[in-house]
């Protein structure tokens, strides 16, 4: 048990040193909740007199780009890449509510692994 505590303390110290050395600011994004109209597409056969209506959706994410035509929000980041990006035409946006602002640092993306393969941050 004592060896585990020593090992844990060494790992924590090593991570603390890494975090201190790697605190360069990478980017800052505002996080939004967005209500928007989503077109509906149907690929099955249905009666001529039936129809669907667009859906109102709510999405949450970091605003990574915007112009007068569309907005881009994203939910996943690494130090230099992004994933889970959603592009919404401005004409489809009903409402945008700012939730918060977050700054990401390179130290946020450093992970260490213990001997059992568990991720420790």
Does residue 46 lie within any of the structural domains? no
- CA distances 92 to 88, 102, 121, Å, are 7, 26, 40
Does residue 20 lie within any of the structural domains? yes
pLDDT of residue 17: 45
Instruction: List, for residues 40-90, the tens digit of each pLDDT value.
Output: 888 888 888 988 889 999 999 999 999 999 999 999 988 888 989 999 999
pTM of the predicted model as reported, rounded to 2 decimal places: 0.69
Domain of residue 110, residue span: 14-41+51-120
Does residue 65 lie within any of the structural domains? yes
Q: Looking at the DSSP assignment, which residues form a beta bridge with residue 62?
A: 31, 74
pLDDT of residue 115: 52
Looking at the structure of the chain, the number of domains it has is 1
Does residue 57 lie within any of the structural domains? yes
Return the closest-CA partner of residue 38 out of 83, 80, 91. 91
Instruction: List, for residues 87-109, the tens digit of each pLDDT value.
Output: 999 999 999 999 999 999 888 88
pLDDT at 31 > cutoff 90: yes
């Amino acid at each position: 048990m004592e060896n585990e505590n020593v090992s844990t303390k060494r790992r924590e110290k090593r991570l603390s040193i890494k975090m201190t050395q790697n605190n360069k600011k990478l980017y800052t994004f505002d996080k939004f909740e967005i209500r928007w109209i989503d077109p509906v597409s149907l690929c099955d056969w249905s009666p001529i007199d039936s129809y669907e209506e667009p859906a109102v959706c709510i999405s949450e994410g970091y605003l990574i780009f915007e112009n007068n035509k569309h907005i881009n929000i994203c939910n996943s980041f690494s130090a230099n890449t992004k994933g889970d990006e959603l592009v919404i035409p401005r004409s489809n946006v009903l409402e945008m509510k700012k939730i918060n602002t977050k700054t990401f640092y390179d130290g946020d993306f450093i992970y260490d692994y213990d001997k059992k393969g568990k991720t420790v941050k």
